[in-house]
Every structure is written in C-alpha cells, then in structure tokens.
Structure 1
Amino acid sequence: MASENIDIAIVGGGVSGVYSAWRLQQHYPQSKIAVFEASDHIGGRLLSVRPPDIPDMVAELGGMRILPEVQPLIYDLIQELNALLPAPEQIELYRFPVDEPQNIAYLRGVYLRLQDFTTEPDKVPYRLNFLDRGQTGGSVIIDAIEQIVPGITNKSLTEEERRLMAQSASFGGVPLYQQGFWNVLFRVITGEAYQYAEDTGGYDTTLCNWNAADAIPWFLSDFGVSAQYMGFCNGFQQVPLVLAQLFEQAGGEVCLEAPVSGVTRSEQGFQFQTPGGTVSAKTLILAMPRRALELLSATSPWLQESARFQQLTASVTPRPLFKLFTTYNSPWWLNTGYSKADGEYVPVKSGRSVTDLPVRQTYYWPRSNGQPALHGHAMLLASYDDGDNTGFWDGLRGRRHSAWKKGLEVAELADPFIGADDHVRANELSWHRYKAPRMMTEEVTRQLTVMHSLSYTPKVRNAAFRDWGDDPFGGGWNSWNIGVKSWEVKRQIIQPLDGQPLYVCGEAYSDAQGWVEGALQTADMMLAKLV
C-alpha cells in the first residue's frame, strides 16, 4: 500500500479495531478501508495458542472469559457472528469455573480449602473482626462498598444505575471520583481485612488506588453478581479473527506487520508512515491503549504537541498482567483433594486455587469442551499475576520493552526452557513463540509444589508465557486515574481534536476496562459519529 490514498485507516488489529472496520465496511461498501496492525496477527490482547502436546486444549495467554449477564455487547456480537458462520466455524462457549469449594488457598503458610473461608473461619490466618470473620474476601469488599455508597449493592439496580450513583456520590464530604479506591476502603475496613481481600481475591490491581467512582461499579459488575463466566471452546481470539475475516470478505484490507509512525495532518486528512511507504487517509481511527498511543505520539510531533490529546490519553494508567502456562503428562493436581468424613474423595480438578506466593492464582485448565482434564496430558494456567507481583518474574525473563525496540513481538531468550515437544511447530503463531525461560519454569514449579503441599510436582512438558506490560501494550488493562471524570473523558477522547476526523477507541477509555465489552462500548460510541 505504498503512497496510496484510502478513505478510512484504522490503526490496531485488536477487537475494537477489526470490529470498527467491519461495521464501517458494511455501512460504506464503496469506501476503501484498511486496518494496520504492527504484529503479524490479529487479536491484540486476545491471544489463544494450542500447546503442542494437547490438541484439545487452548491456552488463553490474553483475555479468557466473558460475563454474559453484565456484558451484553460481546454476548450479542457472538450471536450475530454465529448467524453468519457455518456450523463448524461458529464461536462456541462453555461454563468457565472459578472458585470451587475444594480448591486450595495457601495463605501465610497455612493450607486451606476455599470453602474454609466461610465454614471454618477459625482456620483463616487473618486477624479479622467479628463483622468480617466467616466472609469471603469479596464479601468483605462488597460490604465496605455499601458503606461508602449506601444502596449501590441493591441487586435490582442496573449496571448503568450503579455507575451513575458512584459518579454522583461523595464520601467524607469529597466527591468519590476525587478519591482512590484503596483510600476509601481503608476508612471503612481494617488493614488486615484489606490484605485478606487482596490475598484471597488473587488480584492486586483491582483494589489498588484507582478512581473510586469507577472502581466501585467495576468491582460490583465482576464480583458483586452471581458471576457465571463463559470461556471459548476454540479460544477468545476467534472473535477478532472472525471479524477480520468478515471485514476482508466485505472488501476491506488488513495489513499485518505494518507499524504506523509519523502521523501528520494533510490536505486530504492525515498522512503516516508504514514499512511499505506513506499512506494518506481522510479519516484516522486509533484503536489502541494508552501505551500504544504514547509510542505513536513519540514519533508524531503533531500529536505530541497537542495538549488536549496528551491530557486525554493520560487519563488512565496501564496495569500489568502476566500469564504462564505449563503442561504435564497427567493432571497431578487431582491427588491434592481431600476425603470427607463419609469417605468420599473430593479431587481438585477445575477452577482456581489462590496463594500469597508470587504465582497468586493457578487455574486447572479445562479441555476445549469445558470439561476438566481427568487423564492424559493436562495443562495449568500456572500463574495468573497482576500488579507488583509481575515484578517478581521480571528477574527471570528477558529485559522489558527490549522486544518492541528491535521490532519483535516477544524478546529472544538466552536460556529457554527446553520442552518435550520443542520439535513440534504446527504453525508460525504457535505456543513456541511464547516459550518461557528455564529459570521461570523452574521457579513456578517450586512454588506450585509448596502451594499444593507436595514434596515434588511432575516434570513440566512445555511452558509458555506472556507479559502484557511489554510494549506496545504497556499493560493487560487500564484504569481511570483519580480526579478524572471518566464519564466526560470517555466521550471527549472518541474525537479528541474538535472538528478533525481523528478518533480513538478501545478498552482503555471505557466503563468496562480490562474487558472486551469496554472495547466494543467505545467502538460503538465512535461509530455513532461516523455512520
């Protein structure tokens, strides 16, 4: 596409980018529309790979599930896409288990079962007051939220009603949006209760100091309902891949390995540089998170010098996320269950276990049909980490940001883990591209052994990881900054420069940060201005 003129250029091949492209191509079938993606594949932070030794499993190195009850945009989109696809190619979902009562909680050196939080509170190694004893960590936070914004946990409220309540609420005489979530929680619960909620919840960034007016409805949408998560039989990445396929079938063009730089204004609209040459576009859509926008601005003085553009894009903070998958000859975790008083053995077979060790969360990964692996080769999401804990793994991997500077997706490893199936290379976008370092694999094995109270765990067959803190993403999700009126900024950033056909969309500047739902929400807001 060297020195070519197009009507609409979309930068970013994640969900918001390819979804927007498909919708626009439907509405403007005669227009020339193109998506420019820096990597060699579509999907953004949706990345689904099959391990070489387990053909009926899909490792979700990026996003892995949805909540249909509170995420209608992605659920309805899946139904719409399935109506266009032949039966063998349809997007199939399965029930994605999380907190199974028999699973393990290894906290402060004490071995518990998840059910013990409510049934055996004396075993829980936290000095909780009488109000918090016998509750899960999530329930402690929900009770605290009710004290901060009375009435907001009423189950009859809609998601939008909760958001409006939080946006207009004050606490201690100060508007909630001007306060941090951690700050207000610490005024209604003890430090011990906060630590208990953070440790048992498995995440650090959900309770960190981000905008309380956004954090509260966000937390309730994920943890305050009877959450029924759904996973993807063929991987979540199937959604953007199908969108890109339909876009191309409608006449659009997807340009891979086409990083964009040097955006400038022109008489026709905009010009920018790609490896193939200069491209001119009448309309420019940046379907990108904050860090990617910053990297683009660094090569585009016109964007860098716009105080409004910089202020709007800086209204959120990228939050790191890390995933490490390991495979084994057999599901050894079945043996870490327990026997009931009546003699029934209850195995650990699905969902997750939690710990305050750096691995934080371990998921016993299901097969593609959603059923637990009960025999044969099996897989763990051995570590699902966020926040400060991702720093633990930094010392066991390649230098952060080094890959992007060299034009690579992931850094080359000096000391990779040599797996049992290293000779298998089914395709270029494979498990092997995301191979884990040897020291990282050995360390996660050590922590899994401790967490499951074993003398050893079987040898790892294969290991793969992805750290979303790397460029160009900067994080696995983004959170609104304290003091930002998100309900205003999310509308302003859609078209950040008045009167100019430059648009921004993506998860970062939405009400559902960290979810594909947020990417679709902002894309629809942007499309409302264009169609």
Structure 2
Amino acid sequence: MDTLPDVDVAIVGGGMSGIYTGWRLLTSRLTGSKLAGWEAARGKLKVTLFEGSERIGGRLLSARSPHMPDTTAEVGGMRYVAPAQTLVTSLVECVLKLPWHEQVVDLPGNIAFLRGKLLRTSDLGNAAALPYWLDPAEAAWLAAGKGGSPAGLIGRVLTRLMPDLMAHLNAGTLRQYLETVTVDGLPLWQHGLWNLLAKGMSADGYAAARATVGYDCLGGNTNALDLTAEYFDFTPNVSYRMVNGGYETVPWELQSRFQAAGGEIQFQQWLAGFAGTTLDDGSQGITLRFQDGTTKTARAIVLAMPRRSIELLDPEGEVLGPANTQFRQDLASVAPIPLFKCFLLYPNCWWQDSGVSSGRSLTDMPIRQCYYWPAGQQGTTIPKRDAPGLVMVYDDLLNVGFWEGLDKRAEVHKAGLPLSLRSPGHHWPMFEPKAVEMTAESADPFAKRLMENWTQHPATKQMVNELHRELMQMHGKDSAPEPIDAAYMDWSRDPFGGGVHLWNVNVRSDVMLTRMTQPVDDFPCYICGEAYSTNQTWAEGALQTAEIVLQQRLGVPKGEWQDG
C-alpha cells in the first residue's frame, strides 16, 4: 500500500491570503476538483499552514497599549474600501459578521503643514495661500474649486490624457478602460505615472500634489495603469471601513475556523527551500525543507508570501532554481514599497488645542501623515482633551529610511532574520514608557495577542524624540507633554521587504496576475498574496489571488457568500 505524503496541501505564510486559502480548502465542497482524489485517499483533506512567526496575520498587525487597553491601534493594514472591494467586504460583513465603522480621514479644519507654513485643509484649494509656485493654469483650476487640494492636480492631468476616465470610474469599469488606453502610441502599462504627470504638471505643482495626497508612492513612477487605478481608490467620496475590534480580527477568526475544520498550524517554522519529488503513488509532489533541518512531503505547496520572502528562500528546485530565469524575472515584476507606522500614546490630547481632534493632518516633514486615533471598543470616540490619546504617524517610500536611521538596533538592518529583535544582551536606548499597573491577565486570548503585538514592537528613544518634535512643530506648539508609550513597525524589514507592492513599468499586470499563481506549468506550486494582484496595497488583493489559486488552479468552487 502506498504511503501518503505528510500533508496534501502545505501553505507557507500565515498572512491574510494564507489563512484564507486554508479556511476555504477545508470548508468547501471538493467534488469535481483535483483535490477530490486527495480527499478520498485520506478520508479528509490534510492542510497544514507553516508560519515563521508566532502569530497569524502577516501585515495586519492590530495592537493595544496597556495604557489604553480598550483602544485598538492598527500598526499594519487598517481598512478596506466598500462596496468596491467585494471579496473582503463580503468576508468581513457577511461571513464573519464583524462590526465595523467608517473611518474619518480629511476634515476642513485639519492641518496641512507645508514648507514650514501652517495651513488648514480648507486652505489647500487657495493657490495664493500655498507655499508653492503653481503655474497660472493650475492656480486657476484650484481657484475654480475643481480639486479642493493640490492632490487633485494628479487627477487633472490623468483626466486630460484620458478624457473618458471619470465616466468609467463612475460606472465601475475603470480598470477595463485603462487596459485599452494608449498615450503617445503606447499602452498605459508601458508608462510610469510620474512620466505622465510631467506632461501636464509644473515642478512645484507636482511637489504640492505629492505632499498633499499623503502617500509618496501615489505620485511615484511605477506602472501607470495600476497606479492610476490605485490613485482613484483614494478619491474623496470613497467609504473607508475599519473593523471595530481591529483588522487582525479577520485572520484571527479565519484561524479559528480553519483549525475547527481540521487544519493544522505550525508556528516558528521557517521554510528554507523546496523541490519536486515523486510520491509513492507515482504522482508529482513536493519536499519542503525547513531551517531547523526537518522536511515534509506534500502534494502541493501554496506560497502565501510576498516578493522578498520568496527571494529569501534557497535557490533550488523547479521554481526557485537558477535554471528558471523566467520566474526570477517574473518575481521582480513588482516593487516592494516601504511603509512606516508609529503610534505615540500621550497622557492627554494636547493637539486639540490646535483645533484638531479626528481624521488626519498632513505635512511634508518625514512624519507625512498624522492620524488622531479614535478611542474605545467601537473605534469611533473622540477622546476628551484631558484623557489619554493616540496619534498615528504614517509614511511611505521616501521617508521610511529617515526613521530607519533612528532605530539603533543593528539587527533590524540584517537580511533574513526573524522578527524577534528583543534578544537579551544587547544595549540600545529604548523608549521606556512610564510604569502602568497591570490587572490580572485577560482571559480573552485575542486581547492578550493585541497587547503582545504592542510590546513586541517598541520604538527607540531617538525615534520618539524626533516624532514628538515634528508633531509639535506641525501643530504650532513650542511644548507638549512627552509620550508615555510608543510602538512602531517598519514594514520594509525582512521578511516582508515592504508594506505593499506596486507593479513595475512594462509589466502587464492582468497577464501576470494569473501567471504568478502557478509559475511552472504542471508543477504543484502556487503563489498568492497582495504583491502580485491587481488590488495591490489592499487585503482585497490577497483574497483576489487566493481565489485564483483556489478556483482556477485547484478547482475549488466559488463560495456561495461571494455572490451576495
């Protein structure tokens, strides 16, 4: 009698796409799929998820400070767009039935501190008030109230180059339209966005737009087709939704359902490499080799991993081996985008003296975006002036290296190391929060997880000092109470390589989207995750590629809830 492989499907990576894939595999009807025979041979499909860290969630990282245990901070991904992002919206609201709320972002009275000048969001439509030299046409366009902010100048150029763009955006067919557009005789995917913007925007107009859109990457020079679609995800009428208990509640709930369905999770298991093998029944299988020297056999492997995590694997086997030059080129078709988030907890909400209490303020200093974080379990309460309050600092791309230089731990700069950076015997000037009297440990394991997420991501004193200085400056304050607690994450750190990804110029993402889900024909290795999706920077992209693997590659039927 043939010996069965150790597992049927080995999933590597416990982020959103990995745990979602495992849950779908074990809770779907497999009749008619290629998995049906595997299920019949064992009696029950065996799916094991291997995760290098101690938690499920990946780039979703919700956290709570012991000083505000009823308030959840989002150190990683924080929101989804409804109703456009159908997969994640249905999952959160129809399947898991998690309570959610709309996020407040831009308010007229919030701050825009640009080139040393303190403005309000409502001033951004006034060219005369801006510390930029806009050309007369740009200034007139702003004065006519068409943009509300220099960030709208990006849309102004794009709609002039593509006159039917807004009609398709309103009709929900933007991406299909962008795939048909040509500029200067070339399809949109062969242009960099910055190259296009330069055709119709002054140098200072570009600087003002990039500063006030809030994200450096939205004015960058990656694939113009995908970045145009991404830019219009951030238009003013978009509804941003947040999960009340923290976005990490989603993978946490999926983990519970996956394990209840018979799924196995092995934590602190770092894959070293994998290669094809012939199983006892003569079929094609996989041997997985882990960093601790152990091996496992599987009928299929799903790499639920971003670009950098895959690059850190040993170059061996049919997919990763040096002979497969095509895969290496395909792997490099996206650019990892550095993201930095830090939460500072203050003893009181001193920024309210500057007339701001919710939403975000902007600056061109390295902190870039400042969110006044709501309090409470519902995630919607504005803290009182004298109550403790959280500020989130959020920046990407150009400014992440600034903060990296203020983390003095040498370990964070070394490639391929696990995320645990709190090894004893090293001495660095950590930020030491004031002591807090802890109550008995919560019986809620998820609450404990959120506390651990906070304490495992400490900021250094140098970092906190500079964050505090810039926050005071942008709010027009010479002094303010010092923070009493702080947590941060630089998502460019290994094994992530970046917080999000964007397609490079000259890449047809609509083609690569499917190709990357099975990089070698007739070989049972599949890839999913946000990185190689056409909904990059969002959890929706992780689910999109997972569904391609499930439905198109493995024959798993579409979930009934996806039609709702």
The two structures share one fold, judged by TM-score above 0.5: yes
Matched, 1:66 2:84: no
SS of residue matched to 2:80: coil
SS of residue matched to 2:101: strand
Q: How far has the Cα of 1:376 moved from its partner?
A: 5.0
C-alpha change, 1:73 and 1:301, in structure 2 (3 Å) is closer
Letter in 2 for 1:458: P
Of 259, 262, 276 in structure 2, the residue corresponding to residue 265 of structure 1 is 276
Distance 2:174 2:537 in 1: 18
Is the Cα contact below 8 Å between 2:417 and 2:495 reproduced in 1?
A: no
Of 129, 132, 156 in structure 2, the residue corresponding to residue 123 of structure 1 is 129
| Partner residue in 2 for 1:232 | 243
SS of residue matched to 2:300: strand
SS of residue matched to 1:115: helix
Is the Cα contact below 8 Å between 1:403 and 1:410 reproduced in 2?
A: no
Distance 1:378 1:183 in 2: 45
Is the Cα contact below 8 Å between 2:343 and 2:486 reproduced in 1?
A: yes
Letter in 1 for 2:134: L
C-alpha change, 1:400 and 1:312, in structure 2 (3 Å) is farther
Q: Which residues of 2 match residues 57-136 of structure 1 at below 5 A?
A: 57-82=71-96, 91-118=98-125, 120-133=126-139, 134=142, 135=147, 136=149
| Partner residue in 2 for 1:448 | 471
SS of residue matched to 2:531: helix
Of 344, 364, 376 in structure 1, the residue corresponding to residue 372 of structure 2 is 364
Is the Cα contact below 8 Å between 1:304 and 1:310 reproduced in 2?
A: no
| Paired residue total | 509
Q: How far has the Cα of 1:191 moved from its partner?
A: 1.3
Q: Which residues of 2 match residues 258-407 of structure 1 at below 5 A?
A: 258-268=269-279, 269-274=285-290, 275=292, 277-298=294-315, 303-305=320-322, 306-337=324-355, 348-367=356-375, 368-369=377-378, 370-397=380-407, 398-399=409-410, 401-402=412-413, 405-407=416-418
Letter in 1 for 2:195: N
CA RMSD of aligned residues (A): 2.0
| Partner residue in 2 for 1:247 | 258
Q: Which runs of 5+ in 2 are unaligned?
A: 31-38, 280-284, 442-447, 557-564
SS of residue matched to 1:473: coil
Is the Cα contact below 8 Å between 1:261 and 1:299 reproduced in 2?
A: no
- TM-score using structure 2 length: 0.86
Is the Cα contact below 8 Å between 2:57 and 2:251 reproduced in 1?
A: yes
SS of residue matched to 1:31: coil
Deviations 1:472-531 (A, max 9, x none): 000000010100011101111111100111100000011110100110111111111212
Q: Which residues of 2 match residues 411-490 of structure 1 at below 5 A?
A: 414-421=428-435, 427=448, 429-490=452-513
Of 161, 180, 185 in structure 2, the residue corresponding to residue 148 of structure 1 is 161
Is the Cα contact below 8 Å between 2:151 and 2:208 reproduced in 1?
A: no
Letter in 2 for 1:138: A
Deviations 1:385-405 (A, max 9, x none): 101111111211034644664
Q: How far has the Cα of 1:457 moved from its partner?
A: 1.6
- TM-score using structure 1 length: 0.91
Is the Cα contact below 8 Å between 2:218 and 2:230 reproduced in 1?
A: no
Is the Cα contact below 8 Å between 1:21 and 1:33 reproduced in 2?
A: yes
Distance 1:494 1:332 in 2: 49
Q: How far has the Cα of 1:207 moved from its partner?
A: 1.1
Deviations 1:243-282 (A, max 9, x none): 1110000001111111111211111311112337211000
Is the Cα contact below 8 Å between 1:104 and 1:353 reproduced in 2?
A: yes
Q: How far has the Cα of 1:158 moved from its partner?
A: 4.2
Deviations 1:44-91 (A, max 9, x none): 0000010110022111110011111321110101123335xxxxxxx2
Distance 2:410 2:178 in 1: 40
C-alpha change, 1:198 and 1:167, in structure 2 (3 Å) is same
Letter in 1 for 2:60: L
What percent of counterpart residues are identical?
37
SS of residue matched to 1:18: helix
| Partner residue in 1 for 2:33 | none
C-alpha change, 1:55 and 1:129, in structure 2 (3 Å) is same
More off after superposition, 191-200 vs 467-476:
191-200
| Partner residue in 1 for 2:282 | none
SS of residue matched to 2:519: coil
Of 177, 182, 193 in structure 2, the residue corresponding to residue 165 of structure 1 is 177
Q: How far has the Cα of 1:180 moved from its partner?
A: 0.4
Distance 2:187 2:416 in 1: 42
C-alpha change, 1:100 and 1:331, in structure 2 (3 Å) is same
Is the Cα contact below 8 Å between 1:53 and 1:421 reproduced in 2?
A: no
Q: How far has the Cα of 1:123 moved from its partner?
A: 1.2
SS of residue matched to 1:324: strand
SS of residue matched to 1:132: helix
Q: How far has the Cα of 1:424 moved from its partner?
A: 5.1
Letter in 2 for 1:72: T
C-alpha change, 1:336 and 1:375, in structure 2 (3 Å) is closer
| Partner residue in 2 for 1:341 | none
| Partner residue in 1 for 2:56 | 42
Deviations 1:5-38 (A, max 9, x none): 1000000100100000000011357110011110
SS of residue matched to 1:168: coil
